[in-house]
Amino acid sequence: MYDGTKFHGSQIQGEQVTVQLELNKALSILFRTPMSTYGASRTDEGVHALCNFYHFDTEEELDFDLKYKCNSILPGSLCIKQVYLAANPSFNARFDATGRRYRYRIYTAKNPFLLNRAMYYPYTLNHELLRQTAAIIMEHEHFESFSKRKAQSKTFICNIAESYWEQAGEELHYVVAANRFLRGMVRGLVGTQLHIAREKGSIDDFRKILAVRDCTKAFFDVPGHGLYLEQIVYPDGMLVEVNTRLTM
């Protein structure tokens, strides 16, 4: 898990500080050879993760506590929660994942302890409209309107498993789960729903945005620091949990 405000996104971008770069550096120190990791989900700058997966390949015997050693090297904004051994050597963290879930957090009363942890949004919202837009999302599978340009996606089809808003204490959360997500998709869904909920558009407008397949019609104007990648799902038996020291 990581604090996204401390990184220029998750994916390698030259020498800029990213999650993947820090993981590669830590593993390279431990194995005393250049190591590369491959992530399950890419997150933009500012986006947090409570759960992301990275895989790496090695033929070396791991006779040390990998989790402890890595965490002793990694910066405080990034930590390894658990280590797994792939049952199949061809395992790929990205392509073998069957589901991902995101949560977007909003608060309406100013709170300095939520700064960069959720989006401050002190506007009146029509919660019934939020409920309706979230339900409409479940009816669709083509989300080109909610994919930023230059996404390099071969398909815009996503199978949505969950889409709903919930009150969490003083915060309002949007939760969405799917087999895959497009670049900027969750922030586009949130921003567009909030636009409708402020009664700047109608439910029919929301349906039209989905149907037109044009990202210039959606609203992506919500910050990354309100977004959390909170779950990634793999088929049963694909990963074997390693509690302490891993030996092969």
Q: Are the C-beta atoms of residues 75 and 6 closer than 8 Å to each other?
A: yes
In the 3-class helix/strand/coil scheme, how is the chain assigned residue by residue? CECHHHCCCCCCCCCCCCHHHHHHHHHHHHHCCCCCCEECCCCCCCCEECCCCEECCCCCCCCCCHHHHHHHHCCCCECCCCEEEECCCCCCCCCCCCEEEEEEEEECCCCHHHCCCCEECCCCCCHHHHHHHHHHHHCCCECHHHCCCCCCCCCCECCEEEEEEEEECCEEEEEEEECCCCCCHHHHHHHHHHHHHCCCCCHHHHHHHHHHCCHHHCCCCCCHHHEEEEEEECCCCCEEEECCCCCC
Residue entry with tokens 């009816």:
139
Cα gap 226→128, rounded to integer Å: 22
Q: Which residues are catalytic?
A: 44
Cα gap 210→217, rounded to integer Å: 9
